[in-house]
Amino acid sequence: METMFVESRYKGVVSDELLERIKEKINPYKKINLIGVIQYLDQMNYVKDKIKDKEFVVLSSKYRAMYPGQILGCDQYAAECEDCDVILAFTQGIFHIMGVLMKTDKKVINVDVETGKMEELDEKSVQKYKKRMMQAIGIALSAKKVMFVESIKSGQTVGAKDIKDALIKKGIEVYTVVFDEINFQRLNEFRDVDAFINTACQRIAIDDMDKLEKPIVNAEDLRPYI
C-alpha cells in the first residue's frame, strides 16, 4: 500500500498580547535558542522576525528533523546550542521538552501558541519525571500482573518480546492490550493490573501518566532494569 505523509501546520496566529508576554519572558536573556515541533514552526519564525533586539539561534538537525529549529521526540539536536542563555520552545505538553532537558542544562521557556500558556522548565522538572518513572519501574518489577499497551499504528514499537519474556521468568503475569487509539478509560477498567508498560508512542507515559489510575512506564525505560 502506498503511503503519503502530509505535514500538519497550525494556522493560528501569535496574538500581540502573547508576543508581548514572550518579549517580557525573554527580556533577561541575550542569546536565545529557538526550537519547535513542526506544527508551530511558522509561529516560531514569526516571533523571530518580530523581535529584533535579541540574538536568535536556529540550528538545523543532522538527523531526522527536516527544518531549522525543528525537534522530534527522537531528535533534539536543534536544542544543542552550548553558548545560548535560554531555550524558547514552541510545543504542546512536556514530552518534547523532557527530551530536551535530558540533553542540556539550559532553562526552557515553552510556549503553547494555541492556548497562550507559557511555562518555564528546568532540570528540576526532569527530576520530578525521573522520580515518577523510577517508582513505576519499581512497581512493574515487583508486580503480580502487568499489561503491555501496544498500538497498531505504523512506526510505533510493537511487542517488546524480550521484556515480556524476562518478566514472565520473574513469575509476573503478563497481558497485552492493543489499540488503534489509546483509550485511558478502558485501561482504567483493568483494576487487577499493577502497572502498564507502554510500547506505543513514548509520549503516553509522560504527558498522559495522570490519566491512569495505575503507574505506566515506557518499555525502553524499563529494559535496562530487567
Assess whether 33 and 75 both reside in one domain: yes
Is-contact 133 221, C-beta < 8 A?
A: yes
- What are the tens digits of pLDDT across the range 80-113? 999 999 999 999 988 889 889 877 889 999 999 9
Question: What pLDDT, on a 0 to 100 scale, did the predictor assign at position 157?
Answer: 56
Assess whether 139 and 168 both reside in one domain: yes
Is-contact 146 214, C-beta < 8 A?
A: no
Among 121, 147, 173, residue at a domain's last position: 121
- The CB-side HSE value for 47 (13 A sphere, CA atoms) comes to 34
Query: Residue 219 is part of a domain; what is its CATH number?
Result: 3.40.50.11860
Question: What pLDDT, on a 0 to 100 scale, did the predictor assign at position 6?
Answer: 79
Residue-range definition of the domain harbouring residue 138: 126-225
Assess whether 130 and 170 both reside in one domain: yes
DSSP code of residue 189: T
Q: Provide block-wise average pLDDT over 10 residues at a time, the chain (226 residues).
A: 78 97 97 97 98 95 84 86 97 87 90 96 85 95 97 68 96 95 95 96 86 94 91
The answer to the question of residue 101 being in a domain is: yes
Among 121, 141, 162, residue at a domain's last position: 121
- What are the tens digits of pLDDT across the range 123-150? 888 888 889 999 999 999 999 999 999 9
Q: Does the global pTM surpass 0.85? A: no
Question: What pLDDT, on a 0 to 100 scale, did the predictor assign at position 181?
Answer: 87
The answer to the question of residue 10 being in a domain is: no
Question: What pLDDT, on a 0 to 100 scale, did the predictor assign at position 54?
Answer: 96
Beta bridge partners of 198: 149, 218
By three-state DSSP, how is residue 120 classified?
A: strand
H-type alpha helices, the chain: 16-26, 41-50, 95-101, 123-141, 161-169, 184-187, 204-207, 219-222
**31-36 and 86-90: which strand pairing?**
parallel
> By CB neighbour count within 10 A (0-12 exposed, 13-18 middle, 19+ buried), where does 6 fall?
exposed
Assess whether 95 and 108 both reside in one domain: yes
For the chain, give the number of residues: 226
Assess whether 102 and 173 both reside in one domain: no
Assess whether 76 and 148 both reside in one domain: no
Assess whether 185 and 99 both reside in one domain: no
Question: What pLDDT, on a 0 to 100 scale, did the predictor assign at position 72?
Answer: 87
Contacts of 222 (CB under 8 A, 6+ apart): 137, 140, 141, 163, 197
> Which residue shows C-alpha cell 535558542?
33
Q: Comparing C-alpha atoms, which of 59, 61, 64, 62 is closest to residue 74? A: 64
Question: What pLDDT, on a 0 to 100 scale, did the predictor assign at position 109?
Answer: 98
The answer to the question of residue 68 being in a domain is: yes
Question: What pLDDT, on a 0 to 100 scale, did the predictor assign at position 171?
Answer: 98
Amino acid at 13: V
Assess whether 88 and 162 both reside in one domain: no
- The CB-side HSE value for 159 (13 A sphere, CA atoms) comes to 3
Assess whether 130 and 83 both reside in one domain: no
32: enclosing H helix or E strand: strand 31-36
Query: Residue 73 is part of a domain; what is its CATH number?
Result: 3.40.50.11850
Provide the number of structural domains found in the chain: 2
Is-contact 202 220, C-beta < 8 A?
A: yes
Among 105, 121, 137, residue at a domain's last position: 121
Assess whether 99 and 130 both reside in one domain: no
